[in-house]
Every structure is written in structure tokens, then in C-alpha cells.
Amino acid sequence: MAQRRAIISVWDKTGIVELARALAEAEYEILSTSKTAAAIRDAGIPVTEIADYTGSPEILGGRVKTLHPKIAGGILTTRKDDTVEPIDIVVCNLYAFEDGLARGATQDELVELIDIGGVTLLRAAAKNHAFVTVVPDPKHYPAIIAELGKTDSINAETRKKLAAEAFAITSRYDTAIAGYLKSVTK
């Protein structure tokens, strides 16, 4: 069997160690962004930083971490091109833009809470749900862990339901950002 891969890139790290452990036990190679990788590594779980996997360091103070052809191609491949290393699971939740709004963050702080790479990961994985499982919220971790424990994989119906939720999340996220920008525009 080909090496299975999971990307974990999360703002909210609730439950991430338990999910990473289940993925490792199911023999997924875990790729992760730096802060998430540190949390996984600190728990003694093998993890490869995305920068090491792609050969491209994070840039612009962390603004660009996952926007790379090796990542996008791995998520979007339909498994017909054997030159692309597939990515099978994408675990991602977005920067807390709405929480920033609620606490009265400054405009500069809010701009930094606009997630670009995370939205890209979610949309790409959801688009390719025939092959990729997208996990857009920690509330799904227990079900994913349970399904992995039974079959070492995620079934098509679960992938489709999670894809729909990922698109709903990115839609709400973009709507919140658009609403904020409209509210500060004269």
C-alpha cells in the first residue's frame, strides 16, 4: 500500500494530540505547520513539518505556510498521476476572525486573522472528497478516531458530509470578513 499522508494545520489545537495519535497508529505520515507540529511532537508523535516536506520554509512571518504546489497537488490529485504524492486527510480549522471581531480587535489585528492557506486547504480537500477526507472542526475528531480504529480509513459518505461542512465553514468565514470590510468602508 502506498504511504498515506495527513496534513494537520490548526488554529484551535483542542483534541489534536489524540487525533494525531490515531492517525499515526493507522500508519499515516503526519505533515504539519510549525506550531501544530510542535504540539504533536511534544506528545511524542512522529511529525514532519510542511516546510521540510516541501523544501520551502514558511515566509512572511508565517503568512505563507501551506501554499505550495506539492501540498495543493497532493490534495487535489485524483490518484491517476503517480508523480504526485497524495495527501489523504486534511485536518484544518481557521484563524479566529470572528472571535477577533467579538473582542474588538484592531483592523490590523483582524487583517492578520484572515486565513488564506487554511481556506485553501479546506476547499481543495472538500473539492476532492472522492479521495480526501477534510476535517474542518475539532467536534469531528472523535468520529474520525472511531472510524480509523474500525477500518483504518474514512468512508465515502463521511467524506462527503465533511466536505459539505467545510464549504459551509468557508462560506460563513468569507461572509464575516466581507461584512466587516463593508462596515469599515465609507
Over residues 119-136, the pLDDT tens digits come to 999 999 999 999 999 999
Write down the residue that cell numbers 470578513 correspond to. Answer: 177
Instruction: Check which CATH number belongs to the domain holding 133 and give it.
Output: 3.40.50.1380
Range 19-25 average pLDDT: 94
Q: Which domain holds residue 35?
A: 4-183
Q: How far apart are the first and last CA of the chain?
A: 57
Written as nine digits, the cell of 166 is 467545510
Residues in the chain: 186
Written as nine digits, the cell of 130 is 472522492
Q: What sections of 128-185 are H helices per DSSP?
A: 141-151, 156-183
- What pLDDT does residue 167 have? 96
- What pLDDT does residue 62 have? 64
The angle at the Cα of 136, spanning 116 to 57, to the nearest 5 degrees, equals 40
Range 6-13 average pLDDT: 92
Domain count, the chain: 1
**pLDDT category, 64, cuts 50, 70, 90?**
low
Instruction: Select the highest-mean-pLDDT range: 1-5, 104-108, 159-163.
Output: 159-163
The torsion angles phi and psi of 40, rounded to 5 degrees, stand at -70, -45
Q: What is the DSSP letter of 37?
A: H
Has residue 1 got a pLDDT over 60? no
Nearest-angstrom CA–CA distance, 167 and 176: 14
Is residue 165 within 8 Å of 94, Cβ to Cβ?
A: no
Has residue 61 got a pLDDT over 80? no
